[in-house]
Chains A and B, each alone.
Chain A
Amino acid sequence: MIAQTLSETKAPASEQPIFELIEVEQVFEVPKPGRSLFSRETVGLRALDGVRLTVRKGTSLAVVGESGSGKSTLLRVLLGLDRPTGGRALYHSKPILEGRASGIAFARDVAMVYQDARGSLDPRMTIGALIAEPLRHFDIVPRQDEAARVAQLLDRVGLPADAADRYPSGLSGGQVRRVAIARALASEPSVLVADEAVSGLDVSTQAQLLILLQSLQRDMGLTLIFITHDLGVASFLCEEIAIMYLGRIVETGPTDAVLGAPSHPYSAALRAAAPQFFEPLSEPLPGEIPSPLNLPAGCRFSTRCPKAQDDCRLKDPQLGKLGPQRAVACLHPLQPQ
């Protein structure tokens, strides 16, 4: 259960969520399009708007959406890299930024695998040094045990021990991602946040990494937050799913339930657009994602929604409960057939 309103989150202490986002809003002031050269006029770009999300310990959550839906902004808020302009972002019931400012515990507990794994690794450092860096920074093992721990981490992510002496440029795309995962695991985190960690890879390399991530999550009891645009990846790796559109989570729930019978027309369209063997090509959604500078009135999906009715253009639906485990932001959710 990941999306609930505030009043419903008074669970016993053991079930206190790791992350909780309550009506989080992130507005960036950007230059007004078409302003004159010397004007300082800005407009607010609503990158996140009314985001509600609860992440429980040990769960695996996929955040899915197209480009411009706010996935990466959401991630920056979760990692405490940006201060949301509205709402509350909590980590173990305390504001994330407070947790981050009060010491290294947060950075140690919440590890990140970046989308551009190669770019996240210093090309002048050997793989061994790259993995040892977080070990030293967080003082995980005494110096004399460092090499052994590096070898252990390399083995855990399926790289040969001699990779420690090589440089990132000498590794393939799949191997570089494994190094990034090993580096993230070095601080012994309880939460692993991965931004498109398997995208842009060949299917066989992707399959190898997905199996690795799945075994890590299961064996180490990691909480996994996985940003992806691939519904097949989300359904393989994650128990829960949150589907975003234009800065809002429009549907959440158990992955199989949501993808098996989507309630939000956008989830249904995403589901239909995913390629499937020998199915006829789906009828595509008309148009493109509107500009976040100029959000449509009412429901933000109403301009492309095949089921839009008159009230959809007037009223902006919030994420609300739908059954015990699911939530949807739609005035006229689809009924399961």
Chain B
Amino acid sequence: MKDMALDHVLSIKDLTVFRGAAKILDRVTLALGQGETLALVGESGAGKSTIATAIMRLLENARVTGSATLAGEGDLFTLSERKMVKLRGRRLSMIFQDAGTALNPSYTVGRQLGTTLQRIHGLSKAEAWKQAIELFTSVGINDPEGRMTAFPHQLSGGMQQRVMVAIALAGSPDLLLADEPTSALDVTIQAQIVRLILQLTRERGASCVFVLHDLALASQACDRIVVLYAGQVVESGPARDVLERHRHPYTRQLKSCVLEIGAKDLVAPEGTVPSHDQMPIGCRFCTRCPRAVARCADQAPPLVPARQTATGPLDHHIACWNPE
């Protein structure tokens, strides 16, 4: 893999996470440029949310190796917790899957956003209140002043997620991690929230990592896609390269399971993800891979450029011994 350029907001190298004896992430390497949106896609157990949580240093009961370098701060995994507390909300913040449980049920949403603003910007209570109303307006909450005194349960799922977006963006972070921000929402609301996140991060020049399970949505919302299988990166690159010129058999399989409207053909893949005590030491997909060769089970394939052009390797990588 080519050297991480300096303009990367975040570059993760060989991120490996152990939980007990299980290796739930295996040498994850990825980079994110200024203002880029990146999608982590894969099925459950692929480690998408673990990556986001590890970047925030919110993983519990896990051993983490490798590095995650945030521009200007160095390796996040070596910083003190005190320093991390300062960074969370200011440099990087996270939107969780289920806003209903991420918000505190005992405080009004206005107070939750207000205290965030007071903490991050050192504002007085009155100033924070005023700015909270502005933020609520910018995330499209109608009657923002009235909603300031509402408790989370009094808001719909879509409104709760808007409040989460407002809290996450309160400190104008340059990296936003959105963990399945819309999977609990209806499709018409999903479109509203994804557009809102993209619009607000673009306005602020921030970069965004989306954790998604919907490949089609990833292609619509993100510049780059990283495909994960059982904790390993199998393919990464610009969305079009990964989804239309993919070379990894798993990417093909994942894409073939997406039901487009009007599609009448569907090929169901065989088998399931192996459990961690039965995980192959080599490529973790080899037990289900139609193109597996002898070395796949024993040797983990490195992440290498997927193709060469006259000007050198493209920013499209695969980890496969027998690519398509």
Contacts and interface: CB of A to CB of B under 8 A. Distances in A.
Interface in A166-207: 172, 174, 202-207
A211 interface: yes
Contact of A284 (B192, B213, B258, B268): B192
B266 to A, nearest CB: 5
Nearest to B42: A202
Nearest to A66: B186
B295 interface: no
Contacts of B188: 66, 269-270, 273, 284-285
Interface in B26-61: 43-44
Interface stretch (A52-60, A230-238, A318-326): A230-238
Given A172-B272, A284-B195, A288-B156, A273 B261 contact: no
Chain B interface: which size bin? 35 or more
A45 to B, nearest CB: 16
A232 B261 contact: yes
Interface in B229-266: 239-240, 243, 253-254, 257-264, 266
B43 A203 contact: yes
A211 B186 CA distance: 25
Interface string B194-236: 1100100000000000000111110111000000000000000
B268 A259 contact: no
Contacts of B243: 277-278
A169 B66 CA distance: 35
A232 B260 contact: yes
B267 A207 contact: yes
Contact of B191 (A204, A205, A256, A282): A282
Given A202-B213, A204-B43, A207-B267, A273 B190 contact: yes
Contacts of A281: 191, 194-195, 198, 220-221
A270 B43 CA distance: 25
A147 B188 CA distance: 47
Given A207-B267, A288-B156, A277 B254 contact: no
Contacts of A205: 43, 272
A231 B261 contact: yes
Nearest to B255: A277
Chain A interface: which size bin? 35 or more
A280 B257 contact: no
Contacts of B191: 273, 281-282, 284-285
A276 B266 contact: no
A108 interface: no
A276 B259 contact: no
A211 B268 contact: yes
A278 B253 CA distance: 18
A205 B253 CA distance: 12
Contacts of B258: 203, 232, 277
Of A205, A231, A259, A284, the most chain B CB neighbours within 10 A belong to A284
A260 B219 contact: no
A276 B263 CA distance: 12
Contacts, number: 113
Contacts of A274: 187, 261
A67 interface: yes
Contacts of B253: 204
A207 B266 contact: yes
Nearest to B217: A275
Contact of A259 (B220, B254, B262): B262
A278 B263 contact: no
A243 to B, nearest CB: 12
B217 A204 contact: no
B189 to A, nearest CB: 7
B269 interface: yes
A219 interface: no
Interface in A237-292: 256, 259-260, 269-271, 273-282, 284-285, 288-289
A270 B187 CA distance: 7
B63 to A, nearest CB: 26
B192 A280 contact: no
A300 B253 CA distance: 42
B89 interface: no
A284 B194 CA distance: 10
Nearest to B43: A202
A263 to B, nearest CB: 16
B158 interface: yes
A229 interface: yes
A55 to B, nearest CB: 22
A144 to B, nearest CB: 34
Interface string A206-242: 1110110000000000000000011111011000000
Given A174-B272, A204-B254, A281-B195, A288 B264 contact: no
A233 to B, nearest CB: 6
Of A203, A236, A289, the most chain B CB neighbours within 10 A belong to A203
Contacts of A259: 261-262
A180 B304 CA distance: 44
Contacts of B269: 204, 207-208
A151 B160 CA distance: 47
Interface string B165-202: 00000000000000000000011111110110010000
A252 B261 CA distance: 16
Contacts of B43: 202-205
Nearest to A291: B156
A280 B220 contact: yes
25 contacts: A66-B188, A203-B43, A204-B268, A205-B43, A205-B272, A207-B259, A207-B266, A207-B267, A211-B268, A232-B258, A233-B259, A235-B259, A235-B261, A235-B263, A236-B264, A270-B187, A273-B191, A277-B216, A278-B220, A278-B239, A281-B195, A281-B220, A284-B191, A285-B192, A289-B186
